[in-house]
Every structure is written in structure tokens, then in C-alpha cells.
Amino acid sequence: MKDFTSALRPAQPDGATTLAQERARSSIPVRELTDHIFTPEFLECQARITAILEQDPLFSKTTQANLSRPDRYHLGLARAKKLQRLA
């Protein structure tokens, strides 16, 4: 059998593009749905924690790809521990 792998191309449109198109066509009011599903306390806690995490270098993904498997495991444990403390 002839090798065909070099001719393979990603499917179009990709998943992110399809999701963006579907979201653009949706008439669902996202904020109202969010308020209906979650409590105000939960949303406030989520916003507070997200603001902290965005500033924390432990949660930066810039060097994550270069880590070995054990190092990624330890990084995950450290992140989980930090999240547990914040919640």
C-alpha cells in the first residue's frame, strides 16, 4: 500500500471555527442563561479566583510544553493545591 500520510490535511472548517460560527448564530442570551444556571455567589467566587490565576505564574502555560511527564504531573499537583487554597 502506498504511503498517503503526507497528503493528509486537517478537515475544514476546524472545530474552533465551527464553534465560533454556531455561537454567532445563536440567539440565546448568554448572560441570562449563566445567571439562571449559577448562583451569584458562585459567579463572584469564579471571577475572584480567575483574576488571581491570571496573575499567578504557576498557571502560565508558556513553559508547560517543554516539561517532562513527571514535571507536568508535579505542576498539576501544585496547581490543584493552589486552587484548593483559593476556593
Q: Would 30 be classed as within a structural domain? A: yes
Residue 4 or 37, more confident = 37
pLDDT in tens, 63-79: 888 899 999 999 999 99
pLDDT at residue 86, as a whole number: 82
Q: Would 68 be classed as within a structural domain? A: yes
Q: Would 3 be classed as within a structural domain? A: no
Number of domains in the chain: 2
Contacts of 45 by beta carbon, 8 Å cutoff, 6+ apart: 87
Q: Is the pLDDT of residue 87 over 80?
A: no
Report the mean per-residue pLDDT for the chain. 91
Taking the C-alpha atoms of residue 32 and residue 84, their distance in angstroms, rounded to an integer, is 29
Q: Would 12 be classed as within a structural domain? A: no
Enclosing domain of residue 80 = 59-86
The burial class, CB within 10 Å (0-12 / 13-18 / 19+), for 84 is exposed
